[in-house]
Amino acid sequence: MASNEGTKPPTRQQRQQCWKVRDEYFACLDRLNIIDPVTVEKDPSQASACLDKKKVYEDECMASWVEYFNKRRVLEVRQKQYLELSAQQSGKK
């Protein structure tokens, strides 16, 4: 689907497939405690078990979506960590 970028928007089925393979890839990264997918770009050996899922994710999703999802993943994890820390410091956990 990546070659489709810039022409017509993805169909509902293509979007659902993209989200499915994204979730599978991110779950694989979770098992390896890798938050930032860019880490895999810099050193693929850190996530060798996830490289097949990464390729499918990048093939099934538009490049702009991959970039967005990767950044959003990092931001969501950081936000969650910040909220947990904030709750601990305020004694509300």
> What distance in Å separates the CA atoms of residue 40 and residue 54, rounded to the nearest whole number?
9
Q: For residues 18 and 10, is the Cβ–Cβ distance under 8 A?
A: yes
Mean pLDDT by runs of 10 across the 93 residues of the chain is 62 96 97 93 92 97 96 93 88 62
Residue 35 confidence (pLDDT): 93
Residue 11 confidence (pLDDT): 93
Residue 89 confidence (pLDDT): 86
- Residue 61: φ, ψ to 5°: -110, 145
Q: For residues 50 and 29, is the Cβ–Cβ distance under 8 A?
A: yes
Q: For residues 18 and 1, is the Cβ–Cβ distance under 8 A?
A: yes
Query: Domain spans of the chain?
Result: 12-91
Take residue 72 and report the two structure tokens written for it: 């959003």
Residue 4 confidence (pLDDT): 46
Residue 7 confidence (pLDDT): 72
Q: For residues 2 and 62, is the Cβ–Cβ distance under 8 A?
A: yes
Q: Which of 24, 33, 71 is nearest to 79 (CA)?
A: 71
Confidence (pTM): 0.81
